[in-house]
């Protein structure tokens, strides 16, 4: 049984050991891996990785950001970051400038208290370090201004002293996004230290999960057994990956030892394995009609076999369609790929109604959704009726059509759902609808004119409208759309968007292809879509185009 420590500091921030000394000490302690997570800097990563290259220990490149949430200092640890990513380094430079500005103001404040201190003196005392309040405390202690580190914080450095200076407000949401863009896993560090009540802490976790938080320190040096149970339960509730570490700083945190914390601490290497799996997991979003399905609405045996292979390897498969959820589940039953799938490894999901509903097809339960206001839906019905245009929406089980006409008959040949006919939605819908669709089988220009009319109206800003084929004009919440759904589902499943692959054939697939790490257009797809794609398949929907994508980008 091996141990790891996924929260460690070096002298490049406020630790006292060099990166080389950290490696040697970790080996002495028998650790299998450590994550170097210095405050707001990655300056020590190249050094530690070079030194550990031929040694029996794994180094995880990381960082610990200091952010502000509702007036509190909240820390986010980034693990497995690409520390040379240009976008990441540009953001980090802003972070460091914010810290430098704060340090100049803090030194000026301390000088008003009769303390002879400058940023230059601090830099000379702590070369190559990102100067934190721990360095100020040591400087004041060494110069005889205080008798202990505690006194330094109580009199001069604490949040509520007259000398303390807050940094520029950098939010946890910002650094979560930056970390994910750099290929890393953002982790909420030591949540019990923020002095939040249980309800406040859960609100923080829920808020950050929505913007891409992937993990939480469920193991930490100062946790009691009760703390550990609470943090594990909270992480499980919000599908967050467990992480943990000692927050080792050397002599700057007396009593907190590497690997063991205050003595009985231990992080099993299986925690690291779970985080590494999240870095490797890929997710395929595929449209149904004219993409996954052949012209006769079937799936080829080769494509089916490739889907089963990717699921067995622990990757995720998503049916991304404008269809209602019930219709997607019918297709899934026909594909015969869900049997035996273990949701703890690779899962099967749907983004129905053009991304307005996220659905877990294995657990058979919704994950999240965003609907159109029922009043707005009725307005669309009325506007379509005035133009003599077919329009329909959906309950959980039925199509609700404005008329029993040839458009409805055409639609139900491929989407085999029962239907109701009504011009009024009140009393028919049990909840606001996820999508409406206008259909004209002969005159696309009539649909285009309707789109322009809606866009120019006061409800135009509430929704997105896009063609899913030449005869179908679809309306859905502006927060929906296949691209937004891709990002939301990746966040929910702790998958990096860079590991998402999307494939489609029509205009309503454009946002999905642009949001994914790799966006692929079918050979038989709309030329407008193909121009926006990273890759165009050599094979069409009848000749295993999706299997080609799985081979090239997933397996």
* 168-196 per-position pLDDT tens digit: 778 999 999 999 999 999 999 999 999 89
Calculate mean pLDDT across residues 525-547. 96
| 131 plus 221 within the same structural domain | yes
| 39 plus 126 within the same structural domain | yes
Q: Does the pLDDT value for residue 335 go beyond 60?
A: yes
The number of distinct structural domains making up the chain is 3
DSSP assignment string, 166-227: PPP---HHHHHHHHHHTT-EEEE--GGGG---HHHHHHHHHHHHHTT--EEEEEETT--HHH
Which CATH number fits the domain that encloses residue 27? 3.20.20.140
pLDDT of residue 18: 96
Q: Read off the tokens for 93.
A: 């430079």
Calculate mean pLDDT across residues 363-382. 92
Residue ranges making up the domain that contains 79: 3-279
Could you tell me which of 400, 434, 437, 441 has the C-alpha nearest to residue 417?
400
Residue 149 banded pLDDT, cuts 50, 70, 90: confident
| 173 plus 41 within the same structural domain | yes
Could you read off the pLDDT of 478-494 as tens digits, one per residue?
999 899 999 999 999 99
Do the beta carbons of residue 516 and residue 501 sit within 8 Å? yes
Q: Does the pLDDT value for residue 326 go beyond 90?
A: no
| 170 plus 209 within the same structural domain | yes
Could you read off the pLDDT of 291-320 as tens digits, one per residue?
999 999 999 999 999 999 999 999 999 999
Q: Does the pLDDT value for residue 93 go beyond 90?
A: no
pTM of the model: 0.83
Q: Read off the tokens for 195.
A: 């002095």
Give me the chain's average pLDDT, please. 92
| 263 plus 302 within the same structural domain | no
pLDDT of residue 252: 86
pLDDT of residue 430: 87
Q: Does the pLDDT value for residue 325 go beyond 90?
A: no
| 304 plus 249 within the same structural domain | no
Is residue 392 classed as helix, strand or coil in its secondary structure? strand
DSSP assignment string, 239-259: TPEEEEE--B-GGGSTT-BTT
pLDDT of residue 345: 56
Calculate mean pLDDT across residues 333-350. 74
The phi-psi region of residue 217 (left if phi > 0; otherwise alpha if psi is between -120 and 50; otherwise beta) is beta
Do the beta carbons of residue 485 and residue 479 sit within 8 Å? no
Cα(62)–Cα(275) distance, integer angstroms: 13
Residue 508 banded pLDDT, cuts 50, 70, 90: confident
Calculate mean pLDDT across residues 15-19. 95
Q: Does the pLDDT value for residue 263 go beyond 80?
A: yes
**High-pLDDT (> 90) share of the chain, %:** 77
| 323 plus 237 within the same structural domain | no
Cα(282)–Cα(313) distance, integer angstroms: 10
**High-pLDDT (> 70) share of the chain, %:** 98
| 337 plus 225 within the same structural domain | no
Residue 521 banded pLDDT, cuts 50, 70, 90: very high
| 416 plus 272 within the same structural domain | no
Q: 68-82, 117-131, 249-263: which range is least confident on average? A: 117-131
Segments in 281-324 forming alpha helices (H): 301-312
Q: Does the pLDDT value for residue 342 go beyond 80?
A: no
Residue 461 banded pLDDT, cuts 50, 70, 90: confident
Residue at a domain's end among 223, 245, 279: 279
Residue 340 banded pLDDT, cuts 50, 70, 90: low
| 403 plus 547 within the same structural domain | no
| 123 plus 172 within the same structural domain | yes
Cα(437)–Cα(354) distance, integer angstroms: 11
Which CATH number fits the domain that encloses residue 484? 3.40.50.1000
Do the beta carbons of residue 29 and residue 259 sit within 8 Å? yes
Q: 78-87, 326-335, 435-444: which range is least confident on average? A: 326-335
Residue at a domain's end among 477, 493, 521: 477
Q: CA angle at residue 520 from 516 to 524, to 5 degrees? A: 145
| 273 plus 128 within the same structural domain | yes
pLDDT of residue 344: 55
Q: Does the pLDDT value for residue 393 go beyond 60?
A: yes
Residue at a domain's end among 477, 499, 528: 477
């Amino acid at each position: 049984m091996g141990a790891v420590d996924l929260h460690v500091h070096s002298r490049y921030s406020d630790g006292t050991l060099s990166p080389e000394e950290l490696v040697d000490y970790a080996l002495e302690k028998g650790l299998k891996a450590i994550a170097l997570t210095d405050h707001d800097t990655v300056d020590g990563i190249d050094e530690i990785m070079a030194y550990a290259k031929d040694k029996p220990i794994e180094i995880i490149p990381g960082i610990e950001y200091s952010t502000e949430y509702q007036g509190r200092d909240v820390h986010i640890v980034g693990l497995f970051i690409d520390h040379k990513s240009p976008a990441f380094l540009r953001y980090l430079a802003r972070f460091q400038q914010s810290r430098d500005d704060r340090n100049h103001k803090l030194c000026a404040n301390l000088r008003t208290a009769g303390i002879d201190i400058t940023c230059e003196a601090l830099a000379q005392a702590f070369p190559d370090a990102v100067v934190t309040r721990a360095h100020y405390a040591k400087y004041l202690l060494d110069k005889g201004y205080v008798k202990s580190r505690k006194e330094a914080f109580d009199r001069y450095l604490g949040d509520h002293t007259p000398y303390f200076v807050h940094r520029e407000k950098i939010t946890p949401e910002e650094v979560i996004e930056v970390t994910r863009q750099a290929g890393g896993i953002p982790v909420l560090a030591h949540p019990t230290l923020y002095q939040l009540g249980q309800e406040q802490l859960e609100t923080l976790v829920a808020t950050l999960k929505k913007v891409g938080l992937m993990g939480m320190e469920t193991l930490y040096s100062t946790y009691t057994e009760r703390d550990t149970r609470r943090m594990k339960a909270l992480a499980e509730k919000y599908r967050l990956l467990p992480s943990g570490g000692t927050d080792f700083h050397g002599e700057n945190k007396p009593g907190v030892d590497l690997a063991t914390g205050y003595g009985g601490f231990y992080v099993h290497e299986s925690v690291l394995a779970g985080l590494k799996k999240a870095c490797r997991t890929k997710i395929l979003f595929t449209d149904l009609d004219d993409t996954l399905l052949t012209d006769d609405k079937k799936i080829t045996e080769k494509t089916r076999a490739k889907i089963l292979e990717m699921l067995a390897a622990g990757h995720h498969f998503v049916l991304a369609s404008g269809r209602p959820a019930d219709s997607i589940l019918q297709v899934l039953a026909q594909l015969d790929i869900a049997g035996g799938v273990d949701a703890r490894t690779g899962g099967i999901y749907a983004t129905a109604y053009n991304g307005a509903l996220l659905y877990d097809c294995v657990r058979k339960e919704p994950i999240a959704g965003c609907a159109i206001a029922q009043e707005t839906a009725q307005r669309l019905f009325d506007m379509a009726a005035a133009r003599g245009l077919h329009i329909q929406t959906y309950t959980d089980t039925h199509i609700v059509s404005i008329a029993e006409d040839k458009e409805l008959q055409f639609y139900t040949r491929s989407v085999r759902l029962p239907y109701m006919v009504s011009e009024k939605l009140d009393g028919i819908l049990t909840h606001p609808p996820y999508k409406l669709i206008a259909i004209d089988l002969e005159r696309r220009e009539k649909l285009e004119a309707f789109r322009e009319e809606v866009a120019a109206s006061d409800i135009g800003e509430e929704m997105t409208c896009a063609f899913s084929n030449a005869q179908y004009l679809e309306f859905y919440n502006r927060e929906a759309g296949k691209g937004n759904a891709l990002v939301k589902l990746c966040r929910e499943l702790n998958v990096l968007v860079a590991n998402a692959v999307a494939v489609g054939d029509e205009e309503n697939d454009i946002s999905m292809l642009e949001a994914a790490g790799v966006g692929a257009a079918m050979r038989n797809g709309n030329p407008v879509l193909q121009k926006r794609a990273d890759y165009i398949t050599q094979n069409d929907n009848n000749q295993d185009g999706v299997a080609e994508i799985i081979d090239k980008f997933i397996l």
